[in-house]
Chain A
Amino acid sequence: MIKNINISGYAGILSYVQALNIYRVGSNIAMGSSRMFLKFSIEGKIGVLGLICIVMLSVFAPVITNYPPQKIAGNSLEAPSSAHVLGTDELGMDIWSQICYGARMSLTVGLAVAFISGLGGGAIGILAGYIGGIVDQVLMRIIDVTMALPSFPLLIVISAFLGPSILNVILILVLFSWAKPARIARSQTLAIKENNYIIAAKNYGANPFYILRRHILPEIMPVLFVLIIGISSHAIIAEAGLAFLGLGDPTSKSWGMMLNSATSFRSIYFTPYWQWWLLPPLFMLIFLLLCLAFISRDMEKVLDPKLKIKKGF
């Protein structure tokens, strides 16, 4: 089976697919995930709780903030006080509101990019692996080229060209992140396709869609899910990075945008303003990324008990 896998590093992922038959997608997702949560380490549990907190912040942003994020609600650069929990920025906008509404931005970009490119790329990879032949060859070349492109410099230039809007940022990020799930889904499909039970099913006259749905998808979905978490944190980093360079959506206050406006404020480092202007978005971004990292690491561990031994934990 291993010989079908392009890159030997993915063998680990393959082995936990096999360990995962209990978590068949479609059956008992809730049970599976709650059982998984109990198996998480302390960091993993902190990660899940932290992520839930950030989701709450973004969902209930209108309730827990007193001012809309783009309203001039106070004096310029006020220090934190009871009226403005985290103070105000140079235009007198409330920082706490910006943090809460900014969470929406990061989460939207992360989730949208991860799900579109993870599921879309996965679907392309499965189809290519299943159909094989020239389709597969062409796709592999495209994947190779996509993965070899220097993504961040191109991201900068393309987003400058398409103009700053949240939709464009998502589109560009999808364009650069579908290749990895496609590649892994393809090699997985190739490996699974050769199994005797699939050949048997084919001989019994099962149509391709039945085989894809019943046999191939359930095996590949868990791998795609771990990949999706990884892609979402990459997307969040990329969005923050682009916004930090001033290439984000100027009408929305994302955390990267806040970093951009704070660091481009003249002589901010010589004033105390950075303490309440620069630190909150910086802290929130790092916190969100750490939560995602803890979750994905624990998910990998729970999904593949063998990994523990192999990596020497």
Chain B
Amino acid sequence: MIIMAKDRNSLVFRLVITLFVILVINFFLPRMMPGDPFSTTSADEVGEEIIVMTEEQRLYYMEYYGLDKPVHEQFLIYLKNLMKCDLGKSIHYKMPVSNVIILHIPWTILIVLGSTLISTITGVILGTYSAQNRKRGSDRIMMTGMIAFAEVPSFLLGLILLLIFSVHLRLFPLAGAITPFAHYNGLAEQILDILYHAFLPVMTLSLAQLTGVYLLTRNTLITVTTKDYVRTARAKGLGEKTVWIRHALRNALLPVVTRVGFMIGIMMGGVVLVESVFSYPGIGVTLRSAVISRDYPLIQGILLVIAVSILVCNLLVDKIYSKLDPRVAV
């Protein structure tokens, strides 16, 4: 998706509106959910509630968390606190939401950035190779394989990798981000342990994103190599390597940059499922458990963090793109 010049003026405006919509959904939705965090709803009979605390205790907690005030007042308080980066207090973890998120988000960032890096680099290399060997056997096989890969959603791919490498071959851990109760003899050993646990989730996300980058690189390269300036470069007597890297690839990478930005956004959404497959303690798994335990502030906080990171990525892509391609910044 290439952002055209005339659309760019309204981009910031659009992102602000989107952010506001997310804030509104974010705020009202959890409050409209059935049940509240202080009672457990029985699944056997509709309407039957098992109260785990007395009415007095319940009212006390409602007041303590500010849930007894009118809804619009709660919304204003919420916005005011957001300005102060205060996301409220998690009901389940009994500590500030921002702390819970800060505790878990490094794991998510680790696997998302790791797989972005791996899938971009591998995708560009394979795409270039494929474009150079266009219409030969190796290109065809790679294309078919890649396209089939792209259709398998990341969490199913994760399950397959888990079954093959962790369950069958027993090469990788089944769950978690670090070995529990481990004592490390040094920083290197700790990093190795983290990488060992992150390997399969990162591989899953990378494989799921690889095809997009690969196809984009390959197809743009094929289009670019028919351009006049590539012919000129060849006519000047430049080596094949220089033509491919300096002239063709450099121009073909422009759409890839945009793609990577959107990719991070898509991954932030899909990471919830992949983390669940590997029981990886990032914000995805935290969001899942927050939904189950109806921890409103935590749900709000995580949704907000995911949404903001996606919007920021879109904005960054736009800025980087106009830097790289002066034709866009009219």
A positions within 8 Å CB-CB of B = 6-9, 43, 141, 144-145, 148-154, 156-158, 160-161, 163, 233, 237, 240-241, 244-247, 259, 263, 269, 274, 278-279, 282, 285-286, 289-290, 292-293, 297, 310-312
Contacts and interface: CB of A to CB of B under 8 A. Distances in A.
B155 A241 contact: yes
Contacts of B159: 259, 263, 278, 282
Given A150-B307, A161-B29, A145 B287 contact: no
Interface stretch (B58-66, B145-153, B188-196, B241-249): B145-153
A158 B29 CA distance: 7
Contact of B273 (A160, A233, A244): A244
Which of A9, A163, A312 is the most central at the interface, judged by chain B CB atoms within 10 Å of its CB?
A: A312
A179 to B, nearest CB: 12
Interface string B24-45: 0100011011100000000000
Nearest to A155: B269
A158 B151 CA distance: 26
B291 A157 contact: yes
Given A150-B310, A278-B163, A244 B1 contact: no
B18 A145 contact: yes
B148 A245 contact: no
A297 B21 contact: no
A152 B292 contact: no
B277 A286 contact: no
B155 A148 contact: no
Contact of B222 (A247, A285, A292, A312): A312
A6 B10 CA distance: 14
Contacts of B4: 6, 8
B219 A312 contact: yes
Cβ-closest 4 pairs across A and B: A152-B269, A293-B151, A148-B18, A161-B33
A246 B289 CA distance: 11
A108 B95 CA distance: 43
A148 B273 CA distance: 20
A244 B29 contact: no
Contacts of B18: 144-145, 148-149
B276 interface: yes
B270 A152 contact: yes
Given A141-B17, A145-B18, A148-B314, A245 B151 contact: no
B320 interface: no
B117 interface: no
A246 B156 CA distance: 15
B22 A286 contact: no
A157 B299 contact: yes
A297 B21 CA distance: 35
25 contacts: A6-B4, A6-B7, A145-B18, A148-B18, A148-B310, A150-B269, A152-B269, A153-B269, A153-B287, A156-B288, A160-B291, A161-B29, A161-B30, A161-B32, A233-B151, A241-B153, A245-B288, A247-B291, A274-B163, A282-B156, A286-B152, A286-B156, A289-B151, A290-B151, A312-B218
A33 to B, nearest CB: 22
Given A7-B1, A148-B14, A163-B34, A154 B25 contact: yes
A156 B34 CA distance: 15
A157 B30 contact: yes
Interface residues of B, number: 58
Nearest to A233: B151
Interface of B: 1-2, 4, 7, 14-15, 17-18, 21-22, 25, 29-30, 32-34, 134-135, 144, 147-148, 150-153, 155-156, 159-160, 162-163, 166-167, 174, 218-219, 222-223, 265, 268-270, 272-273, 276-277, 287-288, 291-292, 299, 302-303, 306-307, 310-311, 314
A148 B313 CA distance: 11
Contacts of B162: 269
Contacts of A274: 163, 167
Contacts of B32: 161
Nearest to A292: B151
A160 B30 CA distance: 9
A154 B303 contact: yes
A256 B174 CA distance: 20
B27 to A, nearest CB: 12
Contacts of B15: 148
Contacts of B152: 286, 289-290
Given A161-B30, A278-B163, A153 B151 contact: no
B160 A282 contact: yes
A233 B156 CA distance: 14
Nearest to B43: A250
A263 B22 CA distance: 32
A141 B14 CA distance: 8
B33 A160 contact: yes
